[in-house]
Amino acid sequence: MSIVGLEKNTGKTECLKYVLDNLPVERKRIAVTSIGIDGETVDQVTRTQKPEITLREGMYFGTSEMHYRQRRLVSELIDVSDETTSLGRVVTARALTGGKILLSGPSSGSSLKRWMSDMRQHGIDHVIIDGALSRMSSASPAVSQSMILATGAAYSANMTTLVQKTAHVVDLVNLELTSERNVNRLAPLEKGVWFIDTDGALHDLNAMTSLSQEIHFDGVEHCASLYVAGALVGTFLDKVRKHKTLRHAEIVVRDFTKIFVTPQQYRLFVKGGGRVSVLQKSKLIAVTVNPTSPTGYVLDSDLLCNRLSEAIGLPVYDLLKNKECN
């Protein structure tokens, strides 16, 4: 499971702490790592206070050599990776006592998947991944089976805007799978832009990415599905929407982390009869909110949770308020 913040200071670390504090470590083997850096006492960008990460006895963790040396717990060394990050190699260990740790693990989606594969060899039941909006790849269904999204006033201090922007991300996360036939045909294609015609034939549009300025939709009058193997960008979506024979087409991407369009661009495309679907579907299990911005602006927590929950149809939690109430 990945925990992803839509902006810095949206409560991602607080959510990670809550999850780690409540997992049944006496019955399950838990491993945790971060694709960025987590556990700092002060945010390096906003200079605001951050909650520290505390591991419980028996938890496995992956972090950089530099931060492993700074750990405040007793641990058993499991492995030192051959892959290096800017903070050294990734060290995997098991906590022999509870204590605080800075997490800074694998720095890319591919290295994260390799680390998770190694964890399975140690009988790990659950891996928790600390992610970030800038590293949304950690939330890809190719990496994690489920995710929690952290949002809040740092993302937008205007409640209406915050709900709309968060709901847009949730809409993308919840995109439906394309047909099984399309999955089998398109999954092996890792580059380019393609289309499947109404007879089921596959055609290459001879474009490396959706960013290519030279994309021409010649011969797509009988297009059933367009496939973008890499990133789907807003300019491409606009071109498809304005094309008279494609405006009702299905656009297929690998998963939601490949979509880089504004809420307005997506809304116009869908309103015009278009549809976006995925080869791999994500599972969003909850959304958390931090109603306080780094500048000190505070939104009404109950109202925000209720409005956002109504907009996305999922539970929404203010974990810090819940903890204070308990």
Angle at 303 between CA 23 and CA 46, to 5 degrees: 65
Q: What are phi and psi of 322, to 5 degrees?
A: -60, -40
Q: What is the pLDDT of residues 44-100, one digit of tens each?
A: 454 555 568 999 999 999 999 999 999 999 999 999 998 888 889 999 999 999 999
Residue 44 neighbours by CB under 8 Å, 6+ apart: none
CATH for 16: 3.40.50
Helix 263-271 and helix 234-242: axis angle, to 10°? 20
Q: Single out the residue in 278, 299, 314 at which a domain terminates.
A: 278
Return the pLDDT at 221: 80
Beta-ladder partners of 126: 30
Full domain range(s) for residue 221 = 180-278
Q: State how many domains the chain has.
A: 2
**Are 242 and 305 contained in the same domain?**
no
**Are 224 and 195 contained in the same domain?**
yes
**Are 220 and 298 contained in the same domain?**
no
**Are 191 and 132 contained in the same domain?**
no
Cβ atoms 289, 316 nearer than 8 A? yes
**Are 151 and 35 contained in the same domain?**
yes
**Are 229 and 144 contained in the same domain?**
no
**Are 311 and 258 contained in the same domain?**
no
Q: How far is CA 69 from the centre of its chain?
A: 29
Helix 159-173 and helix 301-312: axis angle, to 10°? 40
**Are 156 and 136 contained in the same domain?**
yes
DSSP category for residue 10: S
Return the pLDDT at 325: 46
**Are 17 and 144 contained in the same domain?**
yes
**Are 270 and 296 contained in the same domain?**
no
**Are 166 and 185 contained in the same domain?**
no
Nearest to 66 by CA among 127, 107, 98: 107
**Are 233 and 94 contained in the same domain?**
no
Half-sphere exposure of 5 (CA within 13 A, CB side): 23
The token pair that represents 309 in the structure block: 């929950």
Return the pLDDT at 323: 61
Q: What are phi and psi of 44, to 5 degrees?
A: -75, -15
Segment-wise mean pLDDT, segments of 10 residues, the chain, 326 residues = 90 92 93 74 51 90 94 95 87 96 85 90 92 67 88 94 96 95 95 92 90 81 92 94 89 94 95 95 94 92 96 93 59
Nearest to 61 by CA among 145, 18, 135, 119: 119
Residue 266 region, left (φ>0) first, then alpha (ψ -120 to 50), else beta? alpha
